[in-house]
Structure 1
């Protein structure tokens, strides 16, 4: 699809959404594999329509640089979707479902409060080295706002993604010496939350396979202070002192123990107060949602690989008194 056609399509989506069913475009004129796949599957057609409605509603609220930024970001998203979702019918459908779910969630958050100027960056790559066929479909957020200097944070997101992606591209020796034909891959996506007017929470989830018995997966969370352009550690979110840490050690320890007792195997030593306190000082476990804190512990952190990740949710009604008044979540007190 030529860029001018895509641009016209995106700008057209900014018109008031009509009460319609099916895809956001005329399926009688579907001309690409992606469009035909969307039209052939009611679930995907619905996802396309809902995404278009979310985009139109947000675009109608914005003007000037904010609207220009949104239109450019949507153009980039469409181009990345078209490039990423290739292959057989089932592969295309699965890819579209993931991309639409992620985009819809992002658009909802971008519409909460003042537009935060966050764009989606992508790394798409595939190839073959010896007996190994590899594919990379990775996305991460870039903060484009002018309220602070986000350059260091943006560089960290980009560098971490590229490093992880590089690990599933074998060198010539590894590809040639693979015991049989293999498919290696790295997939990464992100979700956003807007817990307060001063902050945006980011959760970057990934899955990769680079040979071996099984793949690797996980989630890294960040709380970005829009006033400083930096990711904030738990010590920067909660009031000074150890009251917050003692409270979390008690709440998280009790919740994890219950999960262990209910049949999800875990490491008992992880529940020891000193070990749990050390773990809870690590900021990448903290995903600050709209109404609650979700603590995410990847496989191997508090339990074996077979148990997968563990999560603990704590409502803000419990945590509000512990937030620092001048911190990124201080407005929730």
Structure 2
């Protein structure tokens, strides 16, 4: 279903209260829609996400339904362009994963893990962009109500993030441009002992280009404490993690910056930047599959290279964590 048709269907759900309907595969034209329709798992994920959207919209006030609609429009556009290098079955799998993540968000569930006990609810702050006003797309989560010290701390951290959302007007000084602020939160993992949430932001405020960033909140639920690297990993783990991340980053560097030789000072600087990022647990996102360490643009190279990441499977991490740490 073309995106404009999808928007019309979403608007119909909001105004009529009709039950959610699946993507119309008889009218699929885009590569993304065709990939979803050709793959049963991707289609099932799209149907489940659609039902979650409809169920949530029916529970919200009129004001919040409008915010949800704007959020869903932005999300549909992001999903359309969110798997740029994938084709065929890989494209279907990527789209299915994004649909499943959106379903978890709309339903107030962590993407992995049993949950921490409290009830998660989505938060939307949305504003259509126009000259002199920010385009704002904020999707976050909070506990309502929080039931543990960790959940209370999580809500406090979310509150700090939402205070950074810019006001409606911008300071464009008459320039004919639209400023943007985007913040998307995912609860990657939640259990009664451990929370791991990922926050991705993008802001354009009139420079040569916008800037994106990724950050994570990792919380000891029982203690109500923000976790640091030394809370999670044994002292001897850092060297092994640095070496493994370097091994994973080097092929990415070779592909994105083929003219830059990774030797001498270049290699020393790369190792230093990798080690610095790894040592900050705010760079780490955890799930039942393992963990990912994210490096924003500029952290490991030129802006054009974009962000980098290291992924560690649970089997690699388990021998490196401190005894008793509740690794997913």
**1:69-218, aligned counterparts within 5 Å?**
75-76=59-60, 80=64, 82-86=66-70, 94=77, 102-106=101-105, 107=107, 109=110, 112-114=113-115, 115-125=117-127, 131-143=131-143, 144-148=145-149, 150-163=151-164, 165-166=165-166, 169-170=169-170, 174-175=171-172, 177-179=173-175, 181-194=176-189, 198-218=193-213
What is the deviation of 1:290?
1.6
Gaps of 5+ in 1: 1-22, 57-70
Deviation readout 1:77-102 (Å, 9 max, x if unpaired): 99645325359x98795379899665
- Distance (whole Å) between structure 2 residues aligned to residue 40 and residue 55 of structure 1: 13
Separation in structure 2 between the aligned mates of residue 225 and residue 185 of structure 1, nearest angstrom: 33
Residue 313 of structure 1, aligned match among 299, 311, 314 = 311
Which secondary structure does the structure 1 equivalent of 2:134 belong to?
strand
CA distance in 2, matches of 1:251, 1:314: 9
Q: 1:159 to 1:46 in 2, by over 3 A?
A: same
2:20 and 2:50 in contact (8 A); partners too: no
Q: 1:195 Cα deviation (Å)?
A: 6.8
Sort the Cα spacing of 1:295 and 1:251 in 2 relative to 1 into closer, same or farther, 3 A.
same
Residues 81/206 of structure 1: CA separation in 2 closer, same or farther (3 Å cut)? farther
Kept in 2: contact 1:85–1:96 (CA 8 A): no
Distance 1:90 1:294, change over 3 A: closer
1:22-101 alignment runs, 5 A limit: 32=15, 49-51=47-49, 75-76=59-60, 80=64, 82-86=66-70, 94=77
Provide the alpha-carbon RMSD of the alignment. 4.3
Distance (Å, rounded) in 2 between the aligned partners of 1:223 and 1:113: 16
1:293-321 deviation per Cα after TM superposition (whole angstroms, max 9, x unaligned): 11111101112111111011111111101
Which consecutive segments of 4 or more residues in structure 1 shift more than 6 A?
33-40, 44-48, 71-74, 89-92, 95-100
Q: Distance in 1 between matches of 2:305 and 2:167?
A: 25
Indicate which of 242, 247, 252 corresponds to 1:249: 242
Partners of 1:137 and 1:320 lie apart in 2 by 37
Please give the alpha-carbon distance, in whole angstroms, between the structure 2 residues aligned to 1:77 and 1:205: 27
Tell me: CA distance 1:188–1:37, structure 2 relative to 1, closer, same or farther (3 Å): farther
Listed one character per residue, the Cα deviations across residues 257-295 of structure 1 (whole Å, up to 9, x for unaligned) are: 2221234468644423x5433332112210112211111
Distance 2:242 2:197 in 1: 23
Could you tell me how far apart the structure 1 residues matched to 2:224 and 2:298 are? 31
Structure 1 contact 37–92 (Cα < 8 Å) conserved? no
